[in-house]
Structure 1
Amino acid sequence: MPDRVDLGAEGPDVRDSAFGALEWTPVSATPPAPRTVVELQQNAVTELERIAPVVDDLGEVFAAAGFELALVGGPVRDAMLGRPHHDLDFTTSARPDDTERLLKGWSEATWDMGREFGTIGCRKGPWTVEVTTYRSEAYDPTSRKPSVDFGDSLDGDLGRRDFTVNAMAVRLPGRVVEDPYGGVVDLAQGLIRTPGTPESSFSDDPLRMMRAARFAAQLGFDVAPEVVAAMTAMAGRIEIISAERVRDELVKLICAPYPRLGLTLLVDTGLAAHVLPELPALRLERDEHHRHKDVYEHTLTVLEQAIDQEDRLGGRPDFVSRFAALMHDVGKPRTRRFLEDGSVTFHHHDVVGAKTTRKRMQALRFSKDEIDAVAKLVELHLRFHGYGSGEWTDSAVRRYVRDAGDQLERLHVLTRADSTTRNRRKAEQLRRTYDDLEARIARLQEQEELDAIRPDLDGNQIMSLLGIGPGREVGDAYRFLLELRLDRGPLSEEEAAAELRSWWESRRD
């Protein structure tokens, strides 16, 4: 394909093509088949017609002021893939002050939080727009932050970008595609490749190694052999990147349509050993039933099966559920014990795994709420297996709900996903047993409002009945009544008062 292709407004009018909201492709789906260059061109024409009201108009504004402007990066790539955008990225020859002046006269609101990197943002109707001055950036070998120098040409700007599929632009106005590094061909072939040598690219910004894995997971693409080789040789360079940037890439990868592709690449190249070492550690372990290749493969299967159930969580990628699936067995390496009969145990790997998960997420600077949610799921992921064939009492079911708290629905997903047995009869039995547990939870919730279990008497009533003031003894009484509520279900106020007085007298004897 030539470096420049005219996609001007005189092209075929295909504005009536179906362009709904961007849909998430289930993880279990097969990665997309290769596309032809012609298909990519047709997709681009369609999308450019859809976004013409903003891109053509803004192009005219910058051209009238004597500046170059081009749509660039992800919006161009995704336009060719038939994926519509409302967040549009542009690059320009204008410096940030000039860009801000032009956008203020054109848009409804502007912001300059990215001014340090040459970026000015704005809103125009339903569109979110970011315009960045041509630039080049490189890392000092000992620095966590890039140094930014403004450039003076579009080709130079494209050459500093991470991958060829992101190094394409559409000059505006006129809609001429600039593709100096063969990104369209790579896009058609489903290949992740760097504009220059991968060693140079990753030296400039080591986070691009993780981005290669992330784009593989997002697009279902292969990564070029020379890129994989450079990632393997330079994996240690990721250590200079801040935990926050690593975390953000990891979240995007895990929430992508094909996370197994990206995670496998991280493990195979050695990057995971630096950013998520608990994952490759699982490759050394056999599961306790000896029915899977290893705990690592089991874990990736659990992740995929959890994703297949995300309709229960709203139908969108759910990071907490996915990361809990990825981390649920990370306690096994530390708890593995070989018995004399040749069997292997992993006692308390749920508790150890929760502590390990919490420590890793803290190191990656996740929020407290995210850490608490994932760690809770990891700690509780084995609880169901004490249910047997349905022998739990109502009090045990209440405790299951209480302990899960606001993570109950995610716990349902994780527990079901954790069944990877190839024995159909056993798998069906586990499914029916968990169906029964969920049905019992639903019945009890309807009867007792389990989601908000409280003792039958509050703190003021406890103090009044026992004739005591605020203090530790009120807490003890509260916990007694809560356990009573879990064991016996709701009591009348009179019954609860009688039980409280009896408990109080027993403490005084």
Structure 2
Amino acid sequence: MDFEVWPEAIELGRLFAEQGYELALVGGPVRDVLLRRPSHDLDFCTSAKPEEFEPILRRWGHDGFWDMGRKFGTLGAMRRRADGTEVQVEVTTYRSDTYDPDSRKPEVNYGDTLEGDLSRRDFTVNAMALRVPDLEFVDPFGGAGDLAKGVLRTPVDPEQSFADDPLRMMRAVRFVAQLGFTIAPETAEAICRMNERIAIVSAERVRDELVKLLLSDRPRAGLEALVESGLADLVFPEIPALQLEIDEKHRHKDVFEHTMIVLERAIALETDADGPVPGPDLTLRLAAIMHDIGKPRTRRFEPGGKVSFHHHDAVGAKMTRKRLKALRFDHHMVEDVSELVNLHLRFHGYVDEPWSDSAVRRYVKDAGHLYERLNRLTRADATTQNRRKAAVFAHAMDEMEERVRVLKEQEDFDAIRPDVDGNEIMELLGLEPGPMVGRAYKHMLEYRLDNGPVEHDVAVAELKSWYASVQS
């Protein structure tokens, strides 16, 4: 089997061999070589202990060295090529990761052989190695064959593999999304039997797998596998809850299927790097899968066979905030996605009756930095099969966006402030700092949004008129 391998890998292999140590390229980089995919970082395993290979790695990686993974037997290094590109490597001692039944953190035990190390990896397609510098291909579990068939299978008994590291169950559904693979039947069955063991894995590690899944080329396939495996019931229960039972009397959309369609439509509306929403955009994708999670809680069966979901936007926003916090997403992501869910129905009133300029200003002001994402989420959510309704909706959105463009040429929406500031309010009304100044400021901001920029004396007159009315 012919391989085109990074010269840096060959050089590093020679340095280890000179000291009597084994070194092999493992995991994703080997898989990517066979798939003819680029691989940016190189992972190796070795017979040497960290204290033994640290001097070699420091000498090779003259542009950078790190040891955050030392307790796991991992050290890393980096060097820059003449063209300015960076090559990063991580080297790990042959090892075994196992979990204590009651612990959230894996225990690390060193192993003795490359084959033993490979047997403890997640899937056969990641349990292949390339010894360096002699380029001997090592594939004890048939990973190359599974790679050709696009199948995910564990190197050892799947229950043993998932007992050793339950996060591997999340990796399986992530690889469905990233690689377009299917999960082997016996492996899928083991995940269904053992999915409750995911509870011992930290929220941060689960979140990281979800993020990789969502940012992949096939997030829908990954989410569907997550639901089918039963893992979603434990790590993201709001998603399978969208599979509402639909009877013949009370007809409404399959909310889970609708959500998957919205996700795909939202992805199609992402832009290139120079556009306002460069893809893959995690905020938009999270909002797409969560925009309707309030529906199960708000579903009501109405007379005449209709079904309503009143206030599912507000309820969904609260649920979104709670779930993303539980998954340890950062504060900004939590707030942005929650706000998109809260606002995702806002535009629909425009379709029935185009807004005044003041209402358009409010929409843009309330959306803030999420404006472009909100419009894309709103467009993606319009999944009606009625061509006339779809055309009317698209036309209304186009019209509103054009009006925003024209209004932005006239004024900077991001900088909209009242025509009188807080200091002027206190001076004109003879007030000391306090709640009344805040009320006056809020009124003048509302006045500004309703009327656009006005002459200063007009704004002063409005302020005094308002103050007189609240004093009476």
**TM-score range for the pair, normalised by the shorter chain length:** over 0.9
| 1:246 and 2:206 aligned | yes
> What residue is the counterpart of 1:472 in the other structure?
435
> What residue is the counterpart of 2:424 in the other structure?
461
> What residue is the counterpart of 1:37 in the other structure?
none
Separation (CA, whole Å) in 2 of partners of 1:157 and 1:419: 50
> Structure 1 residues 198 and 325 mapped into 2: Cα distance closer, same or farther (>3 Å)?
same
Separation (CA, whole Å) in 2 of partners of 1:501 and 1:250: 54
Structure 2 contact 277–372 (Cα < 8 Å) conserved:
no
Offset, 1:316: 2.4
> What residue is the counterpart of 1:114 in the other structure?
69
Structure 2: which amino acid aligns with 1:179?
D
Structure 1: which amino acid aligns with 2:400?
L
Structure 1 contact 143–240 (Cα < 8 Å) conserved:
yes
Deviates more, 1:87-96 or 1:323-332: 87-96
> What residue is the counterpart of 1:33 in the other structure?
none
Which of 445, 450, 455 is equivalent to 1:482? 445
Separation (CA, whole Å) in 1 of partners of 2:328 and 2:334: 9
Gaps of 5+ in 1: 8-44
Offset, 1:452: 2.3
Larger RCO, structure (CA 8 Å, separation 6 or more): 1
Structure 2: which amino acid aligns with 1:68?
E
> What residue is the counterpart of 1:36 in the other structure?
none
Structure 1 contact 456–485 (Cα < 8 Å) conserved:
yes
> What residue is the counterpart of 2:43 in the other structure?
89
Structure 2 contact 96–117 (Cα < 8 Å) conserved:
yes
Separation (CA, whole Å) in 2 of partners of 1:335 and 1:133: 53
| 1:166 and 2:126 aligned | yes
SS of residue matched to 1:469? coil
Offset, 1:182: 0.8
Alignment of 1:173-184 (within 5 A): 173-184=133-144
| 1:139 and 2:93 aligned | no
Separation (CA, whole Å) in 2 of partners of 1:453 and 1:76: 54
Which of 304, 314, 339 is equivalent to 1:376? 339
Separation (CA, whole Å) in 2 of partners of 1:140 and 1:172: 34
Offset, 1:286: 5.2
Q: Deviations over 1:373-423 (max 9, x none)?
A: 000000000011111245211111111111111111110110010011122
Offset, 1:484: 0.3
Offset, 1:473: 1.3
SS of residue matched to 2:243? helix
Which of 62, 73, 80 is equivalent to 2:16? 62
Structure 1 contact 286–295 (Cα < 8 Å) conserved:
no
Separation (CA, whole Å) in 1 of partners of 2:65 and 2:235: 36
Structure 1: which amino acid aligns with 2:121?
R
User: What is the RMSD computed on CA atoms of the aligned residues?
Assistant: 1.6
Offset, 1:425: 2.4
Alignment of 1:77-476 (within 5 A): 77-107=31-61, 108-125=63-80, 126-284=86-244, 290=251, 292=253, 294-311=254-271, 312-476=275-439
Q: Deviations over 1:91-142 (max 9, x none)?
A: 1111111222111111122110000111101111111111111101111111
Structure 1 contact 390–437 (Cα < 8 Å) conserved:
no
Q: Deviations over 1:175-222 (max 9, x none)?
A: 121111111111111111110111111111111111100001000111
Structure 2: which amino acid aligns with 1:198?
P
SS of residue matched to 1:383? coil
> Structure 1 residues 257 and 185 mapped into 2: Cα distance closer, same or farther (>3 Å)?
same
Gaps of 5+ in 2: 81-85
Please identify runs of 4+ aligned residues in structure 1 that moved more than 6 A. none
Separation (CA, whole Å) in 1 of partners of 2:219 and 2:93: 33
Offset, 1:262: 1.2
Separation (CA, whole Å) in 2 of partners of 1:457 and 1:390: 32
SS of residue matched to 1:90? strand
SS of residue matched to 2:217? coil
Q: Deviations over 1:306-333 (max 9, x none)?
A: 0111115444211110010000000001
Q: Deviations over 1:348-386 (max 9, x none)?
A: 000000001111111111111110000000000001111
> What residue is the counterpart of 1:491 in the other structure?
454
SS of residue matched to 1:317? coil
Offset, 1:290: 4.5
Structure 2: which amino acid aligns with 1:175?
L
Deviates more, 1:219-228 or 1:79-88: 79-88
Offset, 1:256: 1.0
Separation (CA, whole Å) in 1 of partners of 2:43 and 2:250: 51
TM score, norm. by length of structure 1: 0.88
Separation (CA, whole Å) in 1 of partners of 2:367 and 2:47: 54
Q: How many percent identity over aligned positions? A: 58
Structure 2: which amino acid aligns with 1:460?
N
Alignment of 1:13-52 (within 5 A): 45-46=3-4, 48=5, 51-52=6-7
Structure 2 contact 129–138 (Cα < 8 Å) conserved:
yes
Structure 1: which amino acid aligns with 2:37?
R
SS of residue matched to 1:152? coil
Structure 2: which amino acid aligns with 1:201?
S
Q: Deviations over 1:121-177 (max 9, x none)?
A: 111111111111110111111111110001111111111000011111111001121
> Structure 1 residues 124 and 289 mapped into 2: Cα distance closer, same or farther (>3 Å)?
farther
> Structure 1 residues 386 and 314 mapped into 2: Cα distance closer, same or farther (>3 Å)?
closer
